[in-house]
Amino acid sequence: MTPHVETTLAPGEMITAVTLPPPPPGRQLYRKVRDRASYAFALVSVAAIVDAASGRIRNARIAMGGVAPKPWRSAEAERALTGNPTGEAAYAAAADAALSNARAEGHAAFKIELARRTLRRTLAETVQDI
């Protein structure tokens, strides 16, 4: 482990390339819901990668922003989608699964329903072009 080597740019050095792991198969969509069109934190955001063929979801990765102190990966939503037919029923089930244990207080309470709707809608949009 040599993070002091990998992450420290020495004088005269320049980053010339960034290598990322290959993206998982499927269509990717990022939806950010905010109070104005730009330059604002997400009230709620959804990152979705859905791999589907012939009307069936093979794999899904779901993460949400604005709902926790860190990006929230939802294994519950992914389980609710994987192996199931595409369509509103699956997206609604995934959204419910993702948010069923969510807790919010006071002025943040609206985020639970907002996240549910945003996730449902984002899944529908992600899949529609597959």
Partner 1 sequence: MASNHIVQATARAGTAALGQPADRIDGVLKVTGRAPYGYEHKLERAPAFGYILGASIAKGRIVAIATGEAERAPGVVLVMTHRNAPNQPVFGPPVTPTVPEVFTRARPVLASDRVRYYDEPVALVVAETFEEARAAAGLIQVHYKAEPGAFDLAAPDAETYRPERTNAGFPTDSNRGDFERAFAKAPVRLDATYATPFESHNPMEPHAAIAEWNGERLTVHTSTQTIANIQAGLANTLRIPPPNVRVISPFIGGGFGSKLIVHPETVCAALAARVLGRPVKVALTRQQMFANAGHRPAMRQRIRLGADRDGRLTALAHEVTAATSRFEEFAEQSAVPTRALYAADNQRTSHRLVRLDINRGEWMRAPGEASGQLALECAMDELAEQLGLDPIELRIRNEPERDPEHNLPFSSRNLIACMREGAERFGWNERPTTPTSRREGRTLIGYGMAAAIRANYLGPGLARVAIDAEGQVTVQADMTDIGTGTYTILAQVAAERLGVPLSAVRVELGDSNLPRTAGSGGSWGASSSGTAVHHACLALRERIVTAAASHERSPLRGANVVEAVFSGGELRLGSRAESLASLMAQIAPGGLFAEGAAVRGETYRTYSQHAFGAHFAEVAVNIDTGETRLRRMLGVFAAGRILNPKTARSQMVGGMVWGVGAALMEETVLDPRHGHFVNRDLAEYHVPVHADIPEIAVAFLPEEDDKGNPLGAKGIGELGNCGAGAAVANAVYNASGVRLRDFPLTLDKLFPKLPID
Kindly list the residues in this chain that would bind partner 1 in the complex (CB under 8 A): 33-41, 43-44, 107, 110, 113-114, 117-118, 120-121
Q: Tell me, what DSSP letter sits at residue 109?
A: T
Q: Which is nearer to partner 1, 83 or 87 (CB)?
A: 87
Q: Which is nearer to partner 1, 30 or 59 (CB)?
A: 30
Closest distance between partner 1 and the C-beta of residue 95, in Å?
11
Q: CA triplet 127, 111, 37: central angle to 5 degrees?
A: 70
Q: Which is nearer to partner 1, 43 or 63 (CB)?
A: 43
Q: Transcribe 3-62 into DSSP letters.
A: HHHHS-PPTT--------PPPPSSEEEEEEE-SSSSSS--SEEEEEEEEEETTEEEEEEE
Closest distance between partner 1 and the C-beta of residue 121, in Å?
5
Closest distance between partner 1 and the C-beta of residue 120, in Å?
8
